[in-house]
Structure 1
Amino acid sequence: MDDFEDLLAANRDYAASFELSGFDGIARAGVAIVTCMDSRIDPLRLIGLTPGDAKIFRNPGGRVTPQALEALVLGVHLLNVDRILVIPHTRCAMASSTEAELRERVGKSAGQDASWQSFHVIEDQRAALAEDIARVRTHPLIPDSVRVGGFLYDVDTGLLDQQL
């Protein structure tokens, strides 16, 4: 139980001034973000939002996976989303490593063979972003009225560069 005590203590501090009680969970700013799980990315703050403003879906590489599409469809139809940002980032391990390199690194860390594990590396980030934006824009349950943009986040400057 002590493994998480520091986090539980921080949670108690957080809960002492919790302000979202009773909030209905919609995206108050009408925004959904698909981005990477990288801890250098603070998806709300990087576009000036706060908790409750946006729906956020994170995964390695910030790709629009079937699960991300599911979240976006729900966001659009049930949670007030009318703008979608897809945001991969610079210096991403998923875009700077090969599948073999990641399997080797994970296998070494795990102390066992990881050659069977798929990591879905990204060979060309810009091409992958274009593919992801097209996947969102052509989804039959995401209407044309939803604005969709593709951006690259620079982890060294904090700036977004709109690509699509």
Structure 2
Amino acid sequence: MTSTRELTGRNAAFAADGFVEGLRINPSGNVMVVGCVDPRVDPAHVLGLRHGEAAVIRNVGGRITPATLRTMTMLGKVGQAHPDGRAAGDWNLVLLHHTDCGMRDLAPFPDLLAEYFEIPAAELDAKQVSDPVGSVRVDVDVVLGTLTGSAFLVSGLVYDVSTGLVETVVAPTPLRDMQLRQVSRR
């Protein structure tokens, strides 16, 4: 077990050697990554992100759910409250799924998954919970159908936990305008 004492010791080392003073609340790279909570797939390490470069949202499967969309909306409001700290240019929204995801272990629990996605259980097949290539395509489509904005690029990547490599499944796709449609809860 990793103890709290070990963690605070690591933090002291970080504060001494890795801390970057003066970071702003908005990501310096205009990047937001949505990824899985799986400890093998830390987006900062997998994608080589620097401290402060990206906002990272992690959930089960790295999926775009109504809750994820609400979180993104809230983060957008925080960013708007700090316009002086926002880098110029388009935002890159990266959806990062991975092989050997525990999400597929949840397939035998349709009621739990239906609640997670806020959909009827009969619609679960469309979510592709057992196929990371299919699921990242589904989630890119959800984002493209929900968020619209020329200042956003959305891409879908799949990380292979056996090789450490990332495959681009959906190349960066621009959104059309900057409106965020209200996400309705079912």
With the shorter chain as reference, the TM-score category is 0.7 to 0.9
1:138 is aligned, of 136, 145, 166, to 145
1:153 aligns with 2:162: no
State the alpha-carbon separation in 2 of the partners of residues 33 and 132 from structure 1.
Answer: 13
User: Which residue of the partner structure matches residue 112 of structure 1?
Assistant: none
Q: Which runs of 4+ in 1 moved over 4 A?
A: 74-77
Deviation at 1:59, TM superposition (A): 0.8
* Aligned partners of 1:28 and 1:54 also within 8 Å: yes
User: Which residue of the partner structure matches residue 113 of structure 1?
Assistant: none
String of CA shifts for 1:81-100, please: whole Å, max 9, x gaps: 70011011001111255334
Alignment of 1:1-164 (within 5 A): 4-75=4-75, 78=79, 82-100=91-109, 118-119=112-113, 122-140=129-147, 142-164=148-170
How many residues end up aligned between the 2 structures? 146
User: Which residue of the partner structure matches residue 108 of structure 1?
Assistant: none
Identity of aligned residues (%): 27
String of CA shifts for 1:98-147, please: whole Å, max 9, x gaps: 334xx9xxxxxxxxxxxxx825591443333222111211224x413311
**Could you list the runs of 5+ residues in structure 2 that have no partner in the other structure?**
80-85, 117-123, 171-186
User: Which residue of the partner structure matches residue 109 of structure 1?
Assistant: none
TM-score by length of 1: 0.74
State the alpha-carbon separation in 2 of the partners of residues 150 and 42 from structure 1.
Answer: 16
Deviation at 1:13, TM superposition (A): 2.0
* Aligned partners of 1:85 and 1:151 also within 8 Å: yes
Q: What secondary structure is seen at the aligned counterpart in 1 of 2:13?
A: helix
TM-score by length of 2: 0.67
**Could you list the runs of 5+ residues in structure 1 that have no partner in the other structure?**
104-116
Deviation at 1:163, TM superposition (A): 1.2
User: Cα RMSD between the aligned structures?
Assistant: 2.7
State the alpha-carbon separation in 2 of the partners of residues 82 and 21 from structure 1.
Answer: 23
Deviation at 1:15, TM superposition (A): 1.8
